[in-house]
Structure 1
Amino acid sequence: MKVDNPQAFRFIMQDEIYLLNKDKEVINTSSSANIPVAETQPVVELPPPVIEQPAAKQTSVTPEPQTPDPLVKTPEPAFNYLGKNNKNFLVLVNYANEEHIVATHLTALESILKRKDLSIDDVAILNVYKYTPLKLATLSEYFKPTRLVIMGKDSLPEGIGNLPLNQPLQGKKTHVLYSFSFDEMMSSNDNKKTFWEHMKTL
């Protein structure tokens, strides 16, 4: 095909076909010159960040002060006794096979108390057999006796010392009589009489 105007090739052919090699170089050079080239920044490697660890707290272990245990009060003994102790009159007896006192002995004691214008409610009759060893301080704390009759050596509490038989003693707070047991009195009228003579003084 004969083309009179070379510019007509542009409409029927691609640029690369009809451009001469020297023309391509000029176009490529000029077009690349118009494209801005990003300046390459030097790569600066940063050291890894240093994370400061908080300094370990030096804690001194101080032992907590020991709080003393609350004082444990020894519970008062629950004495099982006969009477109501209205007049703080304590009678100590000792019977292995009785809860309080032999019935015949109780009758005799009630008769003696009646002569002193006292009743069974005015006294406390304690059988010490179940509670031995029994301390005088424990009895004093619990019964607070102003009069104390000890009937027989087996009824003596600990801490009372050597008491003379049938010789009433007046203490600071308590009038004490250490005398025969009922078994010893029931078989002897003389012992009954002696006991009564001293009971009258209490």
Structure 2
Amino acid sequence: MESQVTNNANALRLFFTDDVFVVEDKSVQIVLPAVTEAVSATVSIPKVEAKEAVVVVENTVIPAEKPLPPSESYAQKGEILPIVEEPLQPKAFKFLGGNKKSVLILVNDAAYDVSTEQGRELLRKIVKAVDLATPDFALLNYANYKGTTYAELHQFFKPQIMLSFGVEASHLQLNLNWAGEIIVHETTRIIFAPNLHPLDSDLSAKKSLWGNLQKIK
């Protein structure tokens, strides 16, 4: 037998044709279910205290600069370096003649360029006796260059023959003794004689000079 239970709305209308009224009955208390209060879950979040940033500064010690070792001296302790003589600086001389034959004639007269008239005449005879002309020799008045050494004269003139009138070996810082004969010093033949003016009247000195001049012709 089929079931008589149905939930179909249209079928129910066939059985319930009367009007249905809904009347409020205040005597009936309807207890509503307790409303569950919403509980807000409060999460306690611990506060994080902001700590100040601590900057740790390390004390860096800068080492003091070590002194540089002193530069080595070329001279060791107690060692004495030899003194090196500086080369002589050539002097400039004002002279007469051309020095073509490397003959240096020295006179020593503070009053005249060469000598008195008598002394100049004697000099002309001397140079003629050894076959010299003005271009062949250099004539220097030593009175204008007092203190000049033989080394300085030799560096400038490079004489092969030197005739010295009134200029002694000591004036030229030469350790030589004049004994009336030609002196060969290094590569130079040297003749010493009195100054021209007094020589002209000194027969003995003039004779000695003539004899030496013949040897250098």
Relative to the length of structure 2, the TM-score reads 0.62
Secondary structure in structure 2 of the residue aligned to 1:200: helix
- Structure 2 equivalent of residue 120 of structure 1: 134
Aligned to 1:146: 160
For 1:177, give the aligned amino acid: I
Q: Which stretches in structure 2 are left out of the alignment for 5+ residues?
A: 1-36, 75-84
Distance 2:182 2:87 in 1: 34
Identify which range, 88-97 or 152-161, moves more after superposition. Answer: 152-161
The equivalent residue for 1:41 is 48
Deviations 1:122-157 (A, max 9, x none): 112221123222322222222221111111255742
Q: Paired residue for 1:106? A: 120
Over alpha carbons, which structure has the higher Rg?
A: 2
What residue number does 2:192 align with? 178
More contact order relative to length (CA 8 Å, sep ≥ 6): 2
**Residues 39 and 188 (structure 1), Cα distance of their counterparts in 2 relative to 1, 3 Å cut:** same
Contact 1:149–1:178 (Cα < 8 Å) also in 2: yes
Q: How many residues align?
A: 168
Which stretch shifts more, 149-158 or 179-188?
149-158
Cα–Cα, structure 1 residues 137 and 73, in superposed 2: closer, same or farther, change >3 Å? closer
* Structure 1 residue 163 corresponds to structure 2 residue 178: yes
Distance 1:178 1:47, change over 3 A: same
**Structure with more helix by fraction:** 1
Q: Does structure 2 conserve the Cα–Cα contact (< 8 Å) formed by 1:136 and 1:160?
A: no
Change (3 A) 1:127 1:65: farther
C-alpha distance in 1 between matches for 2:42 and 2:121: 139
For the 8 Å contact 2:193–2:199, the answer to whether it is kept is no
Alignment of 1:8-157 (within 5 A): 33=40, 39-53=46-60, 55-56=62-63, 58-63=65-70, 74-98=88-112, 100-102=113-115, 104=117, 105-152=119-166, 156-157=171-172
Runs of 4+ in 1 over 6 A off after TM superposition: 34-37
Q: Among the aligned pairs, what percent are the same residue?
A: 21
Cα 1:107–1:38 shift into 2, 3 Å: farther
TM-score, length-normalised on structure 1? 0.65
Q: Secondary structure at the match of 1:133?
A: coil
